Every structure is written in structure tokens, then in C-alpha cells.
Amino acid sequence: MDRHKQSRNGTSERVQRGGWRRRQRIVILDAVCDGGKHTTPGEIYARVRAVDTSVERSTLYRTLNLFIELGLVVSAQPGDDETYYEIAASHPHHHLVCRRCGVEQEVSDDVMQGLAHQMRKDHGFQIEASHLVFSGLCAACLTFQG
């Protein structure tokens, strides 16, 4: 079972145990899960509306914000004026997204710890981020750009 299916099962149970039994919230949560990694509000909304046409966009955004506050969902803005959502992982992780071809690569939090340590040392600033998205050019696009 992949990480997102496991997350969906455990997260749906948390939503129900937490007293948030509204069917629309479960449908929205499932739509985020079905998006795999990063999914846009438009994509989520299309999946939600395929199941429940009574869900309005305002309900979608309020529910996504609630899920973020609860730590069930994370969001990121990689620099293309779009916000992306995904189910929160059990471990901090980050993404590299190619702005030319769209390829995405997950990066372990271990890689980011060096940067966080350097920021604290140089600037006295403690980074508190468990989900970052960096946009740039992947190796293939850099080679092609040559």
C-alpha cells in the first residue's frame, strides 16, 4: 500500500474521531489523497464535485485551511502562482520542481538540516519547515539549455 493510501485511511479515522464527521470533509480529504503528491485546488474541486455537487469552492478552501491547521494536509507555493496541497507525511520532506518540464523530486529532510543549521548560525534564525518546495531547472533541462 502506498504512502498516500495509508495516509488516507489513518487520516479519515482521525477526522472522524475528532468529531468532524461531515461527509463533505471526508470527500474533500479523499480528493486530496487521490491527487497523489501535489494537487491544485482546481483539481481537488473537480474530484470533489464528481462525488458531491453540493460542495462549494468556499467550503473547499475553508476545509483545506482546517486540515492544514490540524496538521492533516500541507500546502506549498513553488513560485508559479498556484498553491499545491498534499496529505501531510509522517516525516518532514521537501520537493524540487522543474519549472520547465514539471518533473518533481522528493528530497529528504536530512539534506535541509545543513541549511537550517547554517541559517541559525549566520542569522540567529531557527527555520521551522517540514514541507518546502524549491523551483528551478532539473538536470535534464539544464543539459538541454546547455
pLDDT in tens, 63-118: 999 998 888 988 887 666 788 888 887 777 788 888 888 888 888 778 888 888 88
Regarding pTM above 0.75, the answer is no
For 104, residues 6+ apart whose C-beta sits below 8 A from its C-beta are: 37, 38, 95, 96, 97, 98
CATH number for 93-145: choose from 3.40.50.300, 3.30.1490.190, 1.10.1510.10, 3.30.70.20: 3.30.1490.190
Domain ranges of the chain: 3-87, 93-145
CATH 1.10.10.10 correct for 3-87: yes
Report residue 27's pLDDT band, with 50, 70 and 90 as the boundaries: very high
Query: Which is it for strands 84-87 and 73-76: parallel, antiparallel or unpaired?
Result: antiparallel
- Taking every pair of Cα atoms in the chain, the longest distance, rounded to a whole number of angstroms, is 55
State the average pLDDT over residues 128-138: 80
